[in-house]
C-alpha cells in the first residue's frame, strides 16, 4: 500500500476507509430487513405505470427506506466515534482519533492527563447519546415508524 495509486500510509482517507469497513456490516444489518419487507407488487405496479427503475427507487424505495438509512447512519457514526481497534492500527501521530487520544492520555501519568481523558470520554459519550436521542425524536416516515 505504499506505491501509487494506493499510497495510503499517510493519507487522511485511511481512517475513514477503516471506519467504513468496520461500520458497514452494522449499516447493512439496519437496512437489509427493510429492503426485504418492501412488497414487490408495489415496485412492479410503479414499473408498469411507465416509471424507470431510477424513478421507482426515488418514489417507492427511498421514502420507505429513509428511516432505516437514518438508523444505519447513526449506528455508523456512533461506531466510528468510538472505534478503537482499527484506529490503533491506522492512525498516525498527526491524525489521532478521539479513542486513540483517550488511550494516549490514560497511558501517561498525572492528574491532568487523566482529567483530559475523562473529559474526552464524556464528550464522546454525550455526542453518541445525543445522536441516538435525536434519532428517537425524528420521524421520517418509512415502514418502521
* Domain assignment of residue 113, yes or no: yes
| 22, 81 Cβ separation under 8 angstroms | no
Each residue's pLDDT tens digit, 28-70: 998 999 999 988 898 889 889 898 999 999 988 999 998 899 8
Q: Is residue 76 part of a domain?
A: yes
d(CA 144, CA 31): 11
Please check whether residue 2 lies inside any domain of the structure. no
Question: Is there a domain that residue 145 lies in?
Answer: no
Compute the distance between CA of residue 102 and CA of residue 105 in angstroms, rounded to an integer. Answer: 5
Q: CA-to-CA distance for 79 and 47, rounded, in angstroms? A: 38
- Domain hosting 99: range is 14-137
| CATH number, position 20 | 1.10.3720.10
Q: Is residue 143 part of a domain?
A: no
The model carries a pTM of 0.68
Q: Which residues of the chain have pLDDT under 70?
A: 1-5, 7-11, 139-145
What pLDDT, on a 0 to 100 scale, did the predictor assign at position 87?
Answer: 74
The torsion angles phi and psi of 118, rounded to 5 degrees, stand at: -65, -40
Q: Which three cell numbers stand for residue 74?
A: 447513526
- Domain total for the chain? 1
In a domain, 5, yes or no: no
Give domain status of residue 4, yes or no: no
The answer to whether residue 62 sits within a structural domain is yes
Give the number of other Cβ atoms within 10 Å of residue 87's Cβ. Answer: 22
Amino acid at each position: 500500500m505504499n506505491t501509487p495509486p494506493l499510497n495510503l500510509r499517510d493519507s487522511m482517507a485511511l481512517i475513514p476507509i477503516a471506519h467504513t469497513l468496520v461500520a458497514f456490516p452494522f449499516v447493512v444489518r439496519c437496512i437489509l430487513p427493510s429492503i426485504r419487507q418492501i412488497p414487490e407488487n408495489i415496485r412492479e405496479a410503479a414499473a408498469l405505470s411507465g416509471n424507470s427503475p431510477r424513478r421507482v427507487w426515488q418514489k417507492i424505495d427511498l421514502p420507505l427506506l429513509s428511516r432505516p438509512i437514518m438508523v444505519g447512519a447513526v449506528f455508523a457514526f456512533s461506531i466510528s466515534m468510538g472505534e478503537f481497534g482499527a484506529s490503533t492500527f491506522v492512525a498516525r501521530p498527526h491524525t489521532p482519533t478521539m479513542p486513540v487520544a483517550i488511550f494516549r492520555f490514560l497511558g501517561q501519568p498525572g492528574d491532568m492527563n487523566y482529567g483530559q481523558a475523562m473529559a474526552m470520554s464524556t464528550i464522546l459519550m454525550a455526542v453518541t447519546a445525543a445522536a441516538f436521542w435525536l434519532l428517537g425524536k425524528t420521524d421520517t416516515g418509512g415502514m418502521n415508524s
